[in-house]
Structure 1
Amino acid sequence: MKTVRLTQQGIVFAIFVLLFAGFSIFLPGFPTTDNMLTLLQNVAVLGILGLAMALVVIGRGIDLSLIAALAVPSGLLLQLVQDGDSFSHALLMAALLTLAFGLFNGWLIAYAEVPSIFATLATGLFLAGLGQTALFKLDVVQWSPGLAGFEKLGQGNLFGIPMPIVMFAGACFVVAAFLRRTRYGAFIYAIGDNPFAARASGLPTRPLIVLQYVLASLIGLLAGLVLAASVNSMPTRIYNSTMIYDVILVVVLGGIGLAGGRGGVLNVVIGTLLIGTMLNGMTIMNMSYSAQNLVKGVVLLAAVITDSFLNPRNEETAQQGDI
């Protein structure tokens, strides 16, 4: 007789099902079509960011600068078009800023050996400050006629499916293929599992760490473009929100171990569904922002404690550069 082995992934999915069913029964506005579309749209942006964070965490790092990577390059695109630049040139400038930012993050962590939590905290603050002081005229960068058609990225649909969901699904496919079908993805798992063994076996660990942060920043830009197209603006002060904690919640609750080398895209999808449902339900219940933060803090603390038991660290995991 086979025994059923409970995993964090399975437990979180069961909690999601129960939570969704409970909200559907007890919250009158929850199961409506409009609310489901709103939930899915919000979940899409959060899920895309979760994929970026997953790439870094699997390689035994963390990226606290993701919200800056979401807000500033996409805000720069909107600002340049508003100032008269063509959309293609503005998109190129946003991509170059994102690429430079990811390279700088990766260099700090891989070559300067600054722990990722401190490096990305500092660079995120720097990029956000750069945008607010030098790049943007207002905190909310408004839409302009030169962006006509771009809104379909966030407001259109494909065969009846909202484009943000399509973009999230496409990002999931690409990241899953990268992690599971390419040697670079396998190398990232190897670095996360044991960086010293990976280096001893001849893997180019430093360039691979840089690659992780470049990819994370580019995925952050994608999330920013989807968000900007969805709301026809870019509220650049979103960096000051608690969104980065939601992203960490998605990754940790989904079952991607903070010790590195474990998890994948399916974990991100499950974590995204649970956090998206929880946030949407709290909004419908008119919970205050402070109360929502309290709930998220408790859930994150429980998730981190659970992760420490399910993915215990050994002497090798407590080294510089580890979370």
Structure 2
Amino acid sequence: MSSTDIAVPASDLVAAPSPIRRVFAAVGVQNISLLIAIAVLVVIIGTQNPLFFGLNNIRVIGTAIAVTGLLAVVQTVVIIMGALDISVGSIAGLTSVTSAMIFTVAGPALGVVGAVAIGIICGLLNGCIIVFGRVNPVIATLATLAAFKGIAQLVSDGRAQGYTGANPFFVFLARGTLLGIPTLIVVLIVAAILAHVVLRYTSIGRNIYAVGGNDIASRLAGININRYILGVYMVTGAVAAIAGILITARTGSGQPVSGSEGLELESITAAALGGAALKGGKGTIMGTILAVILLGILTNGMTLLDVNAFWQNVAKGALLVIAVIIQQLRSKERRIGLPA
């Protein structure tokens, strides 16, 4: 038999994917959509106000999204697990106040440690209510959102506490740089990389996806779901505390409410817009970061164009609704109120 008579498997006759298809597969369709949206937004705002492309304005956008980005990263992990944390903004406000108050009597190191410890305790409380009280995560964290906000107002008497604007550590956090990159952005980059590595390359990350995808199958497979819920909420509390410390550094004092108001909505919006399915089991850190950048550009652009500040909340709410509608259409599940 000649070499030309040798049969070739049909699978080998399938054409290899084009470079463009490989790029789309690697980046993800959802992320490509976000990149296009960012590009369009940049062009629209830039043509209306040339100051948008200024180095100082780009730095402003980067530092402004640091706190939201941190909360959005951990919110993504919580959502992938099939839960939700509406209390992250209140935890950030509480830890902002406590970090400043501890700093005034014990210095920055204990201020940071104390704030992170309080954040972990808040996260543990959320997890315990959900696990042992068998309360829906939305209801549980909605309750603690009010409770933590109230505690922050009680301990601070409803006013900004401490003054950190002259302390070298807090000044470095707010206005310092590492290798030419603002410290606030470095903190966000480190947190995003760690979350991405854990979710994508470790058994912990695979189990988090599994729990969000099918909790019953995960339990039958031997995954201790309660332990994961407690652990994820404790980490979320710790990262929310770091966000609170960054708020203190940026504002120069501990802010019980004003510095953290609305951060929970922004974190959920960024996670959903970045492709995290609110039913769990799906989402990426890259998508969330792109969504955070999109929201930061939108907010900055509306400010530069002198759009009424109240419209910013309207825009963010609309983006969240659009993101959820897109997810629902992609899932092809029956919509509430519509025939099957």
Superimposed CA distance per residue, residues 167-216 of structure 1 (whole angstroms, 9 cap, x where no aligned partner): 11111111112212221111111001101100111110011011111111
Match of 2:67 in 1: 45
Task: State the Cα distance separating 1:312 from its structure 2 match.
Answer: 5.0
Opposite residue 114 of structure 2, the aligned amino acid is M
Q: Residue 86 of structure 1 aligns with which residue?
A: 107
Q: Output aligned runs, 1:1-323, within 5 Å.
A: 2=17, 7-82=29-104, 84-133=105-154, 135-144=155-164, 147-238=167-258, 241-312=261-332
- For 2:338, the equivalent position in structure 1 comes to none
Q: Are the counterparts in 2 of residues 81 and 146 from structure 1 also a CA contact under 8 Å?
A: no
Q: For the pair shown, which has the larger CA radius of gyration, 1 or 2?
A: 2
Provide the secondary structure at the position in 1 that maps to 2:254: strand
> 1:259–1:312: 8 Å Cα contact kept in structure 2?
no
Distance in 2, Cα, partners of 1:303 & 1:163: 31
Q: How far 1:109 sits from its partner (Å)?
A: 1.3
Taking the aligned partners of 1:295 and 1:280, their CA distance within structure 2 comes to: 13
- Superposition deviation, residue 240 in structure 1: 7.0
> C-alpha offsets along residues 51-73 of structure 1, whole Å, 9 cap, x if unaligned?
01011000011110001111111
Residue pair 1:259, 1:311 contacting (<8 A) in 2 also: no
2:8 aligned residue: none
Letter aligned with residue 217 of structure 2? A
SS in 2 for 1:141: coil
Per the normalisation by structure 2, the TM-score is 0.86
Query: Please, which runs of 5 or more residues in structure 2 have no aligned partner?
Result: 1-14, 335-340
Q: Distance in 2 between matches of 1:88 and 1:241?
A: 26
Instruction: Give the deviation of 1:93 after TM superposition.
Output: 2.3
Unmatched tracts of structure 1, length 5 or more: 315-323
Q: Distance in 2 between matches of 1:75 and 1:311?
A: 42
How far apart in 2 are the matches of 1:204 and 1:146?
47
Q: Aligned-pair RMSD on alpha carbons? A: 2.0
Tell whether the 8 Å contact from 2:159 to 2:255 is kept in structure 1 after alignment: yes
* TM-score of the aligned structures, taking structure 1 as reference length: 0.90
For 1:318, the equivalent position in structure 2 comes to none
State the identity as a percent: 25
Equivalent pairs, count: 312
Contact 1:153–1:229 at 8 Å: present in 2 too? yes
Whole-angstrom distance in 1 between the partners of 2:111 and 2:44: 45
Instruction: Give, as a single letter, the amino acid of the residue that structure 2 aligns with 1:97.
Output: I
Residue type at the aligned position of 2:327 = D
Question: 1:86–1:146: 8 Å Cα contact kept in structure 2?
Answer: no
Shift of 1:38: 0.5
Q: Which amino acid aligns with 1:26?
A: Q
Cα–Cα, structure 1 residues 81 and 159, in superposed 2: closer, same or farther, change >3 Å?
A: same
Q: Supply the distance in 2 between the matched residues of 1:144 and 1:27 (Cα, whole angstroms).
A: 34
Is 2:96–2:255's contact at 8 Å kept on the other side of the alignment?
no
Distance 2:299 2:230 in 1: 33
